[in-house]
Amino acid sequence: MAPFKTILFVCVLIAAVSSVSKAQDLGLGGVISIQGTVYCTVNGTVGAADATVVLKCGATNTKIASVTTTRAGVFSILLNLLHFNVSSILSNCSVVVTTPLAACNATLSPTQALTSPLQLLKTTVIDNLPIISVGALGFHVTS
């Protein structure tokens, strides 16, 4: 009877370990979701469609991710928590609009960009996976 219990224990142990292993293999360590809206107008009534938004980090402004805004000017950048540290993202990164806002009739020079620092909005947990919501604090013109 002892071998049966040993075999059963080993099977249960393998099943438990493989579940954790599969989640790690899929890269499911949680998500940092960076969201915001790029507006054409100061009062925020018109979104900047098809603008390129880049997440840049560090003293050298290393490009981490790049997305295009929707027709309403909305963007969302997703980062895996297994590869990025939330406090580092908040303190060392910003989102930058790198394309001319032609649809907005904007008068930015080629050397200028719109830049926004980041702020923590909220943290939620779904199925034991943390989702860290980060938002663009507000865009301003930079050279």
CB atoms closer than 10 angstroms to residue 94? 18
In a domain, 60, yes or no: yes
Read off the pLDDT of residues 6-23 as tens digits, 9 standing for 90 and up. 444 444 434 444 434 444
Q: What does the pLDDT read at residue 99?
A: 75
Read off the pLDDT of residues 71-129 as tens digits, 9 standing for 90 and up. 999 999 999 999 999 999 999 999 999 776 666 766 667 777 889 999 999 999 988 88
Read off the pLDDT of residues 34-44 as tens digits, 9 standing for 90 and up. 999 998 877 77
Inter-residue contact 71 to 37 (CB < 8 Å): no
- Give the domain extent around 125: 29-142
Name the band, by pLDDT with cuts 50, 70 and 90, for residue 142.
confident
In a domain, 72, yes or no: yes
Reduced DSSP (H G I as helix, E B as strand, rest coil) percent helix, strand, coil of the chain, to 5: 25, 40, 35
In a domain, 90, yes or no: yes
Domain count, the chain: 1
In a domain, 44, yes or no: yes
Residues 6 or more apart whose CB falls under 8 angstroms from that of 21 comprise none
Q: What does the pLDDT read at residue 14?
A: 44
In a domain, 85, yes or no: yes
pTM score, whole prediction: 0.75
In a domain, 8, yes or no: no
Q: Is the confidence at residue 70, as pLDDT, over 60?
A: yes
In a domain, 95, yes or no: yes
CATH of the domain at 62: 2.60.40
Q: Is the confidence at residue 25, as pLDDT, over 50?
A: no
In a domain, 16, yes or no: no
